[in-house]
A and B are shown apart, each in its own frame.
Chain A
Amino acid sequence: MTTDSTGSRTNVCHRAWVLVPALIWMGLFFFLPLLIVLLISFASRGTYGGVEWTFTLANYRDLADPLYLWIYLRSCALALATTGLCLCLGFPLAYYIAGEPARRQGIWLMLVLIPFWTNFLVRTYAWMDVLRTDGLLNTVSMGAGLTSDPIEILYTDAAVLIGLVYGYLPFMVLPLYAAIERMDRSLIEAARDLYAPGWAVFVRVIVPLAKPGIVAGCLLVFTPSLGAYITPDLLGGARSMMIGNFIQHEYLVVRDWPLGSAASFVLMAMVSAGVWAYQRAGGERLL
């Protein structure tokens, strides 16, 4: 009992110390590397691909080149399209799951999550099998007489879009489900009792109530889509480069580290802006 007042205090100290190893590790292998990227983005490129430590803003200015701007715009457009499609596909599913009995909800959620936890590279490769000119999609659609000539989808933006929607759909369904599951269903009934037509119930009751889930889902889909690397690399053509591929190209092929660093920082700034806007809008914790 004598330790009662000081006991909780030592407890706090004892516990807080436990944080230190993780902080050191993440400091060394996460924050320090990011800092290096930031520093190098202000340096200039050496003659043989190294880095010369002179302060310059030239890399950021170079990024304003129409060629590079185009890559950023394309990436944003693809990420936005992915987000919109995921929302359209995910909403009915999330709404359906939320209305199931508790036990079945668990099974449905599991079914949505399982593909998400399987190897992303492998799942993307699976789409190559399906979308190839002599792949399953064309075999089926030509066999069924839907098309006479094979559709060329693989190595186009359409393929990238399909791959992205496929990869990030679970990110949309889960927060949507969480929001819809929580909402007060009697409000929907009230709207119906007051003779609101179906669309009005949806637009004026369901959507506003599900809004936290919609916002969270959109952010969770948009962010990784914007920085996607594997999907455009495997499913996209030579002209389907996205920001992630551009960064990789600058680093490993052109070996222009300062430009690559500037490009990654612009990407990170875009992602952070999204998260910041979300939290400013009073969004819930994402994780």
Chain B
Amino acid sequence: MKSLARHRRGLLPASLANLVFLYAPIVVLIVFSFNAARLPTAWEGFSLQWYVLLVRDHALAAALQNSVLIAAVSTVIATLLGVSAAVGLERLPWRRRVWLEGALLLPLVIPEVMMGVALLLLFVLVKMPLGLLTVTIGHAAFNVPVVLVIVRSRLHKLDPQLEEAARDLGATPWRAFRRVTLPLLQPAIVGAALLAFTVSLDDFVVTFFTAGPGATTLPLKVYSMIKTGISPEINALSTILVLASMGLVGLSLLFQRKRVHA
């Protein structure tokens, strides 16, 4: 046992190097957002000027509003659809369940570009003007499997006897579901919704293809800023986005880990 532990400890430097690799660019990004210099090359003193610039940018405020609106609406749709799909799948015969589940999870493995392009074609063919609505629809579509995966893994761990007990005591199926299963699923549902919200807030590729002129979101804004030239203002905006998604994901994990006191 001791030899094994020693042999594993040798991997600590490599593991730490991995973490440095994962975090260094993010740290650099955040540090340079507070740099007084125009170019992110040398440190010229602490400054909040780039954040002040952000606050004054009206186009940015509009993009933030679009992002939050799209994320909120698509999360509600995806959560309703994803939770109901998870519950529905649970009681299907095995063969049909595997097949349907595979189909519903397909968006997770399909290249994002393909999904964006496909949605663009659909909207163009049915002559639906590209805008907030088309982006929201697309986000809800890729978020259904996100919610489905999380809620289903929780559902698997639930004891089916709990709901059966409620049924035996005379509860209608709906009542048994609402009073027994749903409360037990609640942490997973909240976690899934928070994650869907984050994924929507962060999405660039599908948004890029499905957004019209009036539907600029924060990632689209960041992209166009990067394309027009690097400036510390992008670092400031990126820092805010990074911290926002870290916070949301942290919350989501907290909810998903919450133990059920039944």
Known contacts A118-B245, A121-B204: does B42 contact A139 (CB below 8 Å)? Answer: yes
Binding-face segment, B46-54, B57-65, B118-126: B118-126
CB of B242 closer than 8 Å to a CB of A:
yes
Known contacts A30-B106, A264-B113: does B91 contact A25 (CB below 8 Å)? Answer: no
Inter-subunit contact A139/B41 (CB<8 Å): yes
Kindly state the separation between the CA atoms of A70 and B230 in the bound complex, as whole angstroms.
31
Kindly state the separation between the CA atoms of A48 and B106 in the bound complex, as whole angstroms.
34
Inter-subunit contact B230/A19 (CB<8 Å): no
- Which residues of A are found within 8 Å of B55, using beta-carbon distances? none
User: Which range holds the interface residue count of chain B?
Assistant: 35 or more
Inter-subunit contact A15/B91 (CB<8 Å): yes
Known contacts A36-B118, A96-B12: does B174 contact A14 (CB below 8 Å)? Answer: yes
Inter-subunit contact B110/A271 (CB<8 Å): yes
* Shortest distance between the CB of A228 and any CB in chain B (Å): 8
Kindly state the separation between the CA atoms of A252 and B117 in the bound complex, as whole angstroms.
9
B contacts with A: majority SS: helix
Inter-subunit contact B114/A264 (CB<8 Å): yes
Known contacts A33-B121, A135-B40: does B226 contact A22 (CB below 8 Å)? Answer: no
- Which residues of B are found within 8 Å of A128, using beta-carbon distances? 226, 230
Inter-subunit contact A119/B107 (CB<8 Å): no
Kindly state the separation between the CA atoms of A67 and B12 in the bound complex, as whole angstroms.
45
- Which residues of A are found within 8 Å of B91, using beta-carbon distances? 11-12, 15-16
CB of B219 closer than 8 Å to a CB of A:
yes
Inter-subunit contact B25/A268 (CB<8 Å): no
Kindly state the separation between the CA atoms of A15 and B90 in the bound complex, as whole angstroms.
8
Near A by CB (< 8 A), chain B positions 59-117 give: 77, 80-82, 84-85, 87-92, 100, 103-115, 117
Return 27 A-B CB contacts under 8 Å, by A number: A7-B167, A10-B173, A11-B167, A18-B85, A19-B100, A21-B81, A22-B104, A22-B148, A34-B110, A37-B114, A37-B121, A89-B18, A92-B18, A110-B253, A113-B249, A118-B249, A121-B202, A121-B226, A125-B226, A130-B24, A166-B25, A169-B18, A189-B4, A192-B4, A229-B205, A243-B113, A251-B209
5 shortest interchain CB distances as A-B pairs: A227-B111, A19-B88, A33-B118, A126-B25, A22-B85
Chain A residues proximal to chain B, CB less than 8 Å: 7, 10-12, 14-23, 25-26, 29-34, 36-37, 40, 89-90, 92-93, 95-97, 99, 108, 110-115, 117-123, 125-130, 132, 134-136, 139, 166, 169-170, 173, 185, 188-189, 192, 198, 223-224, 226-227, 229-230, 234, 243-244, 247-248, 251-252, 257, 260-261, 264, 267-268, 271, 275, 286-287
